[in-house]
Each structure stands twice: as C-alpha cells, then as structure tokens.
Structure 1
Amino acid sequence: MKIILNKILLLFTAATLLVSCDKEVLTVLNPNAETTLSLSSSDVVLDKDAAGQDALTVSWTDPDFGFDAGAEYKIVFASGEKSVTVAAGTSLSKVFETVQLNKILLNLGLKGGTPTPVSVVIETVLSAYHGMSSNSVSFTATAYEDKLDLSTIWGVVGSATVNGWDGPDMPFYTTSIADVLVAYVTLNTGEIKFRSNNSWTLNYGDSGLDGNLDEGGDNIPVTAGTYKITFNLGTLKYTMETYSWGLVGDATTNGWDGPDMPMTYDSFSDTWKAIVTLKAGEMKFRFKNDWGLNYGDTGADGTLENGGANIAVTAGNYLVTLDLKNLAYTITPINIWGVVGSATPNGWDGPNVRFTLDFSKDDVWVINRIALTAGEIKFRTNDSWDLNYGDNGLNGTLEVGGANIPVTAGNYKIVLDFSNSSAPTYTLTAL
C-alpha cells in the first residue's frame, strides 16, 4: 500500500510540474523598442531674476519592450566636446528650473549672454549590458554668468609670496573705485613687488619706502602676516594693512579665545568663505582675531549686526559664507573631500588631506600643492569610507569604491571635478 501511495504522489507531482511548465511565458525583448524625446522649448533664454521658475521640460515616450522592463533613464546634454549627464530615474519627464539648467549650461562651457546650440539625448538603461539612445533634439540656450569677474592683469610677486619670485603672482582685484585695486594675501617674511601679466616688463617697487611706487623700484620688505594691499593705478600709491576675517566661538576649533578659523576671500562672489568642521555650540564672525569688530545675528534671521548675538550651530561640516556688503551670512552643510592613502602624510588611516573649493567653478575641488611619497591614493569625504572614489581604468575617470591610484613621489596639484556627477574626473599635475 505504501508503494502505491508513493507512486500516486510521484505522478501527481510530475503532473503539477507539467502544468506549471505549460503556464511559463517566455520573455522576449522587442528589438524595435524605442523612445522619442521632446523639449518644451527650442529657444531658452535664462534670467538670473527668475531663479525659482521652470525653464525647460524634457519628456520622452515609454519604450515598448514587450514586458515591464523597469528601465531607468539618463538625460545627456552636450555642446561641442563637453557633455553633462543627469539621472532621471524611472520617470518619463524632468523639469529643470532656471538655476539648475544654468549650472548645466555653464558646465558645458557656454558663455553668459551668448546663444549656443545644445543637444539632448535620452539614454535608456535596462542593465549593465543593455541600453539604447533616443533621437537627438537640439535647442538654443542662452545662459547667464553667475560669478563675478574682478580679475586684473596685476599681481604681487616676491620671496614673501607663496610662489616666490617666479610666480604665478598673487592676484589684485578690481574694486568699486576706478583704478583702485585690492589684494588679500598671506605673506611670509621677505620682499614683494607689483607687476603686470606675471612678467617683469612692467613692475613697481618702492625705492623710498614712502608709499609711492616707482617703476622698476626697490623691493618692498614685509613681515609675515595676512594683509590687504590697496594699489592705486592712477596715483601710483599703495597701502598695506593687516586684514583677516575668521570664525570664533565654542563651536570652533580654538574656542572663544581663538585664534579664529580663517576665512578666504572669494572674488567670484565678493564674499569671504570657510570650509570648516564645527562642534555643537555657538560662533561669531570677527575681524583680525579681535573683538573690536565682530558680527553676530540677534534675530537668527541670517542678517548680521555689529556685536550681535551668538550664532547657534549643530556639529557638522559646513561651507560658511560672510557677505560684508549686505551684512548677511549662510552656513551650508557640505561634504568635505580629501585625499587618503599610503602616499599621503597620514596614510590609509587619515585624517584626509583636505581639498578646498575652486570658487571659480561649480563642484570642483583643488589641492594646490601636496607632497606625496611613492604609493597609492584614493579620494573620500569627511574622513570616512562611506563615500570614496578610485580609478579602475587609470584613465582619469572616478568610480565609487574604485581601485587605488598609484603615484610616484613628488609635489602635485590635484583637482577633483564633479561638474558631471555621472562621470567625475581628477587630474594629478606634477609641480
């Protein structure tokens, strides 16, 4: 009886499997599947005053793959040899506001106020091995410049400067007063002169050390410090005064007694900025590490008052911006990029050697000079391995969690470029 029951059970199982097999549907990808792209406008002129408004809608049709493929999409903007890729997820359209689209256009190399053709393509991604592209649609785009240009041909050169007598020189910037230039510089004890175009063809010194400049005159001696140098091209007079802005408070590294966490002048926005790690606590802005001039925020409304209330902050990494023209400030959370590895001073355990932002560009970080030993490096944020980049192909393109990057011993300038977030790049330039 037991044998008969086992045979019946076996026959029932086989029959069930046959029925199940009959119900299976073979999935076949439709080879004619395609997506068609369309744009909301063929001529887009961006206006800085329309920052929060919609500027362009990119739409595309749903490809008929013959089954629910769960495809993801990427929007690729291109102009000339440059491209910017924007992830769009599983949606079939994406709206770009003015500021977002302008940033993309500037990263493509467009100049503000100049109408330029830009092409758009949709990349459809089914897997790591299968994808397709839509038709290409072009539109004429006019971006606006979102950064100031206060640059001049003049600079500070000398043994007291960071690059010595060979340059490149530390820059002077234009001011609101005609022919009056200003430089914010940190100098070593040594000598300086002023010259144009990083060349000795036209240079000024001060033979009498009386504040009057002489063409080809004597070197100007200085002691170590941070200075504001004012240079009047019309009268050929100059002044030098100690000058610095910084952050002070129990949220900062050195507390209320200082020295303050230094801020850097950003000529592209005419503001002072600092990339800092703060503790939970309070802070203020002050001039020259002294309480004679300090700013707080009495109403906690982003507006500064001389001698105002302490500014409360939570622990974290921040980009702090001080706008002295409008007496305003911002404290923006930020991931701080750094380089780590056996070739760096602190090895694989860190802490990272930190990058600073290149204020002339968006999403570009730079270390102007770092001494590396023979070994390997990677890039990571906030001294943590949660987000790190290497280079699997050693081709200058970064991959999340990618391979270590080998380097030889020497001094380098390192640039990280995240302007194309889908394909970030880096450069290592020997100095």
Structure 2
Amino acid sequence: MKKLINNSIYLLGLLLVLVSCDDKELVTLNADANTVLSVSNQTLVLTEELADTEVLTLSWTDPDYGFDAAANYKIQIDFTGGDFSAPQSISAGSDLSKVLLGQELNAKLLSLGIVPNTATDIDFRIQTTLSPNTVMYSDAKTINITAYSSLLDLSTNLGVVGSGTPGGWDAGSDRPILDIPFYTTSTTNQYVAYATLRTGEIKFRKDNLWTENFGDDGNDGTLEANGANIAVTAGSYKITVMTDDSATPLSYTMEPFSWGLVGDGTPNGWNGPDTPLTYNSYQDNFKAAVTLTDGEMKFRFNNDWGVNFGDDGLDGTLEGGGANIPVSAGHYIVTLDLNTQTYELEATDVWGLVGDAAPNGWDGPNLKFLPDFGINEGFYYINGVTLTNGEIKVRQNDAWGLNYGDDGNDGIMEQNGANIPVTAGTYNIVFDFSGASPMISLNEWQ
C-alpha cells in the first residue's frame, strides 16, 4: 500500500511538471528585428549662440523582437569611416527619441576629437540592449557637422622645472609629470603659472626641453639664458613672467597665491585650512570639487580674511567682504570667476580617494578628484596628495555604493575590486573613466 501511494505521488508530480512546462511560452528572437534610425538634419553648423537651442532630434523604431522586450537604447557617435570601437555615447533609456541641445552635441563632438570650425561627416547609430548577451546596432546615419570650440587656448610652450616642482629636474623625460605650464593673459607679453612648489630650486624652460632655459644670475628678478637656479620655499604661488615680442622671458615675479572655500558648510569649517580652488585654463576661472553640508561659505584669498568675497544679494555676484553664502548639503563643482566677480555651485556626482593611505582614512570624507574641463571627458585628477604606506580605492559621493579597486594591480580597475597598495609619497593621481574599463595611474613626485 505504501509503495502504491509513493508511486501515485510520483506520477502526480510528473504530471504537474509536464503541465507547468506546457504552460511556459518559449520565446525566440526575431532575426530580422532591428531599429531604424531617423535624424532631423543632414547638415548642422553649431555655434555658441545655439548652445541652449534644440539642434538635432534622433528617433528610432521599436521593432517586433518576437517577444515583449524591455529594450535599453544608447546613441553612439563616431567619425564616418570609423568602426565605433571608441564612440561617444548618449544614454536614452527606453525612449524612442532624443533631442540634443547645441552645447550637449558640441561637447560630445569635441570629446570625439573633431576639429572645431571644420565641416566633418559624423555617423550616428543606435545600440539596442535586450540582455547582457543580446546587443544589436542600427544602420548608421551620416550628418555633416561643424562644431565650435567653447574652450580657451591660453597655452604657451614655457614651463617651470626643478627640484621644487612635482616632476623634478627631469620632468617630461620619460616621466608622466611635465613642467608646470605658463598661460597667456590679457596683458601683452605676460605669462602666468599657478604652481604648488616644495622647498628646492626652479628654472623656466621651453617645450619641456633644456634647449632654451632661463634662470636668475643676480637673484634680482631678471632672467638670463642658462642662468642660475632660483631658490624657492614650499607653498602655492602665482609666477608671472614678462617676455619680449619673440616670447623670450625677460623678468619674473613670484607671490603667494591661493583661493579657497571657507565656512561651516565646507569640510574644514570657518578656521580652515580652506578647501583649495584650482585654476582652469579652459575657461580662465578657478574650480573645486567639494562635498558641502548645510551651512554657509565664503571665498577667501591665501587662507586669510584680508581679502574675502561673499554675496550680499544672493544673486551669484560677489562683493568684497560680502555676506555669507548659504549652502545645502550635497556634492558640487564650485566655480569662481574673478574676471566677472561671479560664482556658481553645480550639484554633481563626485569621485574621491579613500583608504588608510589617504589623508582621511577609510571613513572619509574622501579627497575629491577634479574633472578635466577641457576635451578629455572622463578624466579626473588629484595633484599633490601625500599618501602613507597602506591601501586606497576610488568611490563616488563618499559612499560604497559605487567603488573601484584593482584586482590585478595593473592599473585597470574593477567595480568592488581589491584595495590598491601604495607606498608613502606625494603623488599626482589620474582616474580615467573615459573607456570601457576605468584606469588609474599614480605618478609620484620626483
């Protein structure tokens, strides 16, 4: 009897399995399914005046995949004739169209490497992702586009070299740290460099080479070709060089120079040290990536109240000695424009350095990376950070939800990867998030 009951239960279970299998609908991808892309323009000339204007609409079909698919779409952009191996991308989610503003499209084209003010054939296609193993691409559509340069080019071929600089005396000679650059200014024949130096010596030279170099034989501010090394003490400086009409350096001055954020809404409070702002030559302003708390802040010069700016009208315009600026907790790119006496706080995600080798340990707050504000989209930098023997990782927004380590200790990073061992020293760190796999390089000061 027991055996009969067991056999009956087995047959009933088998029947239920067969019925269950019959109820499942087997799905097969339609081999002919693919999106068809349409574009609103065949030719585009982008200008700064069109920065906030809708300049291009891309739309695509939703084909019959043979089943109810949850497709995710991405626009890919490459030069005509390219193979989309390193495209610029714009996420569209589940939408079937995307409208691009002039500045958004222009930024993607500059990141792609387009030459501004030159008509160039650009291909667009749609990447459709149905699952990690099912990715399809539409046929490409070509648009002839002229982009514009929204960036200043203040570069010169003059730089600062020496034992007082991050790259040492051999900067640029098979080393990743180059001479500290000089930039042009609105004053004819005047160059300026913003330099964080250590105690040592410096000289000025052209093209990261010793062919043309300049020192100061009399220590009197006058420069001579192949002149004597210039002694410096550790600090942040503005170095100004005057040249003749052929760009030959004639004289120089050095002055302590730093702008920073101070206040109970900033990481170090009202007593500092101030959160430093870094010179951005592409817009001729100063920027910082920072995490703020609810409170107030001001801008001040050289960590001192002698020169400080606030905002009396809370209108984005700065006044000397003006009112404290109220801020809300969050992650920001802060911009200080001394040319227009204005400032801006842009809420954004920020990347930071964390670890027992980092200044604030594993609990943070993280030391923030500053994005590249030029054409190297996806690159982030920390310069002059002092690390101890230990380990580091990179994470977003002072939280562990999104973090990267390096499983192979090969510079290629993995999400939730292994801690990265470091030895004590001062470093310039580059976090490259522009490619398929994030990468990190730690370049020690020489």
Q: What range is the shorter-chain TM-score in?
A: 0.7 to 0.9
RMSD: 3.3
| 2:289–2:369 contact (8 Å) kept in structure 1 | no
Match of 2:87, SS?
strand
Partner of 1:366: 381
Q: 1:37 to 1:428 in 2, by over 3 A?
A: same
Alignment pair present for 1:382 and 2:392:
no
Q: Which moved more, 1:64-73 or 1:106-115?
A: 64-73
CA distance in 2, matches of 1:45, 1:392: 46
Counterpart code for 1:386: G
- Distance apart, 1:31 and its partner CA: 2.4
Counterpart code for 1:40: S
Counterpart code for 2:224: D
Counterpart code for 1:404: A
Residue identity (%): 53
Alignment pair present for 1:212 and 2:222:
yes
Match of 1:229, SS?
strand
Q: How does 1:283-302 map to 2 (within 5 A)?
A: 283-302=297-316
Alignment pair present for 1:132 and 2:136:
yes
| Structure 1 unmatched runs, 5+ | 1-15
Q: Which moved more, 1:334-343 or 1:210-219?
A: 334-343
Partner of 2:150: 146
Deviation string 1:209-262 (CA, Å, 9 cap, x unpaired) is: 222211112222223322211111127122222222122222234433433322
CA distance in 1, matches of 2:222, 2:408: 57
Match of 1:173, SS?
strand
- Distance apart, 1:152 and its partner CA: 0.6
| 1:278–1:317 contact (8 Å) kept in structure 2 | yes
| 2:261–2:275 contact (8 Å) kept in structure 1 | yes
Partner of 2:277: 263
- Distance apart, 1:405 and its partner CA: 6.8
CA distance in 2, matches of 1:158, 1:164: 5
| 2:262–2:274 contact (8 Å) kept in structure 1 | yes
Counterpart code for 1:153: N
| 2:336–2:342 contact (8 Å) kept in structure 1 | yes
- Distance apart, 1:327 and its partner CA: 0.7
CA distance in 1, matches of 2:236, 2:384: 20
CA distance in 2, matches of 1:187, 1:277: 26
Q: How does 1:174-323 map to 2 (within 5 A)?
A: 174-234=184-244, 236-323=250-337
Match of 1:74, SS?
strand
Counterpart code for 1:91: D
Counterpart code for 1:416: F
- Distance apart, 1:96 and its partner CA: 1.1
CA distance in 1, matches of 2:165, 2:18: 84
CA distance in 2, matches of 1:386, 1:174: 42
Q: Which moved more, 1:185-194 or 1:250-259?
A: 250-259
Match of 2:131, SS?
coil
- Alignment TM-score, normalising by the size of structure 1: 0.84
Partner of 1:417: 432
